[in-house]
Structure 1
């Protein structure tokens, strides 16, 4: 989960009726932290037409890790933002080519990053 989402959930926990559901969700997820190359990749994702808010979220999908630092990248990016998903689907091949070009210049383990699956939550 993105840090911004974790912050929002933390604020919602003060509402008693949401607390049990949030606790359950937080036990099943981990907060992603940006890794090396996150900022560079975020700028490059922005070049594909994503908003200044969306590009960093999508960049976390490839250049992030969990608290234990034993996972590199997110496997899935889930959103309610239908236009974001549509743009991702339209530009996916171009984005993948750009990431592959960048990966060839990176040292391990960053040379193994992949794009996340971006899905609309209906």
Structure 2
């Protein structure tokens, strides 16, 4: 694996760790929904994840990360369609998809 891909994978891991650190201690959607700072921090880290994935796909379009294209699309949606990203979508990403992504990255590193 190319060194730059390893760096981008590490960036994704760091962004996931930050998201997990930002989440309310209660771990509930209700608390997340009320906390604008946390939501913005999560959005920013999802943007970082999407940008890193975009760079990885340019170098290795066949990397074995499921939903890699959707990850990039989500980044683009947050940046360009910021007003169409709901709290529910962010919560779904956090709770369902980030754990899968984290496992896949650890497997290929």
Specify if TM > 0.5: no
Normalising by structure 1, what TM-score? 0.26
Of structures 1 and 2, the larger Rg is shown by: 1
Higher RCO, 1 vs 2 (CA within 8 Å, ≥6 residues apart): 2
Structure whose residues are more often strand by fraction? 1
Normalising by structure 2, what TM-score? 0.28
